[in-house]
Structure 1
Amino acid sequence: MEPSGDFELDTADRLRRSVGDLVRAVRDVTDAAPDNQIETLGYLMRGGPQSIAALARQRRIRHQSMSATVAELASRGLVERSADPSDARGVLIALTEAGSRVVTESREMRATLLLGVAEIALDEADLALLARVPTLLDRLTAALEAAVPAEDPGS
């Protein structure tokens, strides 16, 4: 498929960088917890209890690094370990109520910050355009996920 209108390779690269810069800027201003901890809590909030190996794959880090992150989160009472009912030797990591609150508060703080900055920096036409962006990004994400074969759980 050929690029249409003003959306070409340079624009696609600029979009990719801009989205990353925006995410980092919002995190830098709002999150008290390190990125690796907030990201891990977010995976647990979205996906439910998971093994350390599954969390490490999602974050694309070594098992040992994820074990250290989980240990820190557990020491703060944000996650808990439990036996994996499908694997007698396995352990699942789950959010505690406190961990859920941290994720919810972090998301609300980031959304509030973004709304406030958008209302200051953008005019009504820009805000209307920006309101459409999440749907467009969701469609791009779905297309990317459909284009990449799912990882084999046995690997």
Structure 2
Amino acid sequence: MDKQSVKQSLSPEQARVSELAAELRILISSVSRKLRAQASAGEFTPSQRSVLLRLERDGPTTVTALARAEGVRPQSMGATVSGLESAGHIKGTPDPADGRQTILSLTPRFLSMIQASRAAREDWLVREIHACYNAKEQESLAKAIELLKRLVSH
């Protein structure tokens, strides 16, 4: 069954929800691209980005734990980690409990890059919100944000 046939078989409510979903997906992609264009902490592969975000969120850990959390083989994670270490984004220190293990963490320099990048993106958002929306529209935006939070927490 092609897309057109599927759309024709939907009720008006289902069709509207389908349209909303498509519009929201496109809008979120556009906003994401705009934010990435404002400041970047570097160009990373999806697996590198995932490792960096996990280390930031969960704290220091081992290659084995990262591999398990990301659902990849330790050898694959080792290659990802090696590239990030070479670039100076993460560092390894011996595990005090098990000298055979290495504990990986983000470098202070990379943490500073992340903070600067986020600040630049937030500054852009503040400027754009002030420029594009009056006070009443900003309230509507705040309500929409609450609805979107519910969408992602469901």
Structure 2: gaps of 5 or more residues = 1-12
SS in structure 2 at match of 1:8: helix
SS in structure 1 at match of 2:61: coil
- 1: CA distance, partners of 2:116 / 2:87: 16
Matching residue of 1:22: 31
- 1: CA distance, partners of 2:25 / 2:61: 29
Matching residue of 1:34: 43
| Contact kept in structure 2, 1:81 and 1:91, CA below 8 Å | yes
Cα offsets for 1:58-113 (capped at 9, x unmatched): 66777666544433332343211134567765433211221221111111111111
Identify, as 1 or 2, the structure richer in helix: 2
Matching residue of 1:73: 84
Instruction: After TM superposition, give the deviation of residue 41 of structure 1 in Å.
Output: 2.8
2:25 aligned partner, one-letter code: R
Structure 1: gaps of 5 or more residues = 144-155
| Contact kept in structure 2, 1:79 and 1:94, CA below 8 Å | yes
Greater Rg over alpha carbons, structure: 2
Matching residue of 1:127: 138
Percent identity (aligned): 30
| Contact kept in structure 2, 1:42 and 1:103, CA below 8 Å | no
TM-score (norm 1): 0.67
- 2: CA distance, partners of 1:61 / 1:25: 31
